[in-house]
Structure 1
Amino acid sequence: MKKLKTVGLYLMSAFYILAGINHFISPDGYLRLIPEYLPFHELLNILAGVCEVAFGIALLFPQTRGMAAWGVILMLLAFIPAHIYFIQLNSCIENGICLPPWTGWFRLLIIHPVLIAWAYLYTRKI
C-alpha cells in the first residue's frame, strides 16, 4: 500500500506541475474558464499556475508535503466557481472548448471530490 501511495504522490506532483506550466503555455483556455464576475483574469490565471507548480514541487519533499497537500485542497476549492461557471455556460465556452453538458457536472461532482480526496491522502506522513 505504501508503494502505491508513493506512486500516487509522484503522479499527483507531476499532474500539478504540468497543469501549472500549462497556465503559462496556453493561458487562453484557462482565462475563458474564469467567471466574468471575477476581476483580474490574467492575474488569477498566473496565480493558479504558480500555485499549481509550487504545490506540485512541495509535494515531493516530506518537510513540505502536508502543507502542500492542504494548499492543493484549498486551491481546488477556489476553483469551484470556475466549474460552476462552466456548467452555467452549458459546458461550452465561446471560441473554446465545447463538451456535452453532463461533463461540467461530472467534473464538479465526481472528479473534483476525487482530486480533493487524493490530496487529502498526503496531509499526513506516507
Structure 2
Amino acid sequence: MNFKAVLMWVLAIFYAVAGYFHLASPGGFLTIMPDWVPFPRAVVLWTGVAELLGAAGLVQPWWPRLRKAAGIGLALYALCVWPANINHFAMDMARDDGGMGLAYHVPRMIAQPIIIWLALWVSGTTTWPFRPR
C-alpha cells in the first residue's frame, strides 16, 4: 500500500469516527454550533451521516468517480464546518480558564485547510502540488 492509500484510509477512519460521534453523542457538537445555524440538532446529525457516507465513498474500490465525489464532498464539508471550529475557538478562549488553550485551537485551525486539500488529493480530484506521473 502506497503513502497516498494509507492517508486515504487514515482520513476515512477519522471521518467515520467523527461521524459516529456526531450520531451517538451530539451534545458536544451542539455546544460549539454558532447561534445563526438553523435546526442545530438536525445539522449535527446530518453532518454525521455525511461524514460516514463520505468515508465509505472514499475507500470503496469500484467507482473512481464516486471516490472523487466523496473527496469533493468531504472537502466541502470541512469548509462548511470551519465556522463551528472558529466559534469553538472564540468561545473557549473567552472562558476564564482559557479553555483548551492555543495549543489545541491553533493546530486545529491550521489543520482545517490541510484536511480540505487531503480529501481532494487522496480522492484523485487534484494532484497539486505534485506533478502527475
TM class, shorter-length: 0.7 to 0.9
Q: What is aligned with 1:69?
A: 71
The reply to whether residue 34 of structure 1 matches residue 33 of structure 2 is: yes
Q: Deviations over 1:35-90 (max 9, x none)?
A: 11211110000111000000000001241111000000100110111022113214
Q: Is the 8 Å Cα contact of residues 27 and 45 (structure 1) preserved in structure 2? A: yes
Q: What is aligned with 2:44?
A: 45
Q: Deviations over 1:13-52 (max 9, x none)?
A: 1111111011112111111111112111100001110000
Q: Which runs of 5+ in 1 are unaligned?
A: none
Q: Is the 8 Å Cα contact of residues 89 and 105 (structure 2) preserved in structure 1? A: yes
Q: What is aligned with 2:83?
A: 81
What is the one-letter code of the residue matched to 1:75?
Y
**Greater Cα radius of gyration, structure 1 or 2:** 2
Q: How many residues align?
A: 120
Q: Which runs of 5+ in 2 are unaligned?
A: 128-133
Q: Tell me how far 1:107 sits from its aligned partner.
A: 1.6
Alpha-carbon distance between aligned partners in 1 of 2:30 and 2:88, rounded to the nearest angstrom = 12
Alpha-carbon distance between aligned partners in 2 of 1:14 and 1:116, rounded to the nearest angstrom = 15
What is the one-letter code of the residue matched to 1:114?
I
Q: Is the 8 Å Cα contact of residues 24 and 49 (structure 1) preserved in structure 2? A: yes
Alpha-carbon distance between aligned partners in 2 of 1:101 and 1:5, rounded to the nearest angstrom = 30
The secondary structure found in structure 2 opposite 1:79 is: helix
Identity of aligned residues (%): 27
Q: What is aligned with 1:116?
A: 116
What is the one-letter code of the residue matched to 1:16?
Y
Which structure 1 residue ranges, 4+ long, deviate > 6 Å from structure 2? none
TM-score where L is the length of structure 1: 0.84
TM-score where L is the length of structure 2: 0.80
Q: Is the 8 Å Cα contact of residues 91 and 103 (structure 1) preserved in structure 2? A: no
Q: What is aligned with 1:104?
A: 105
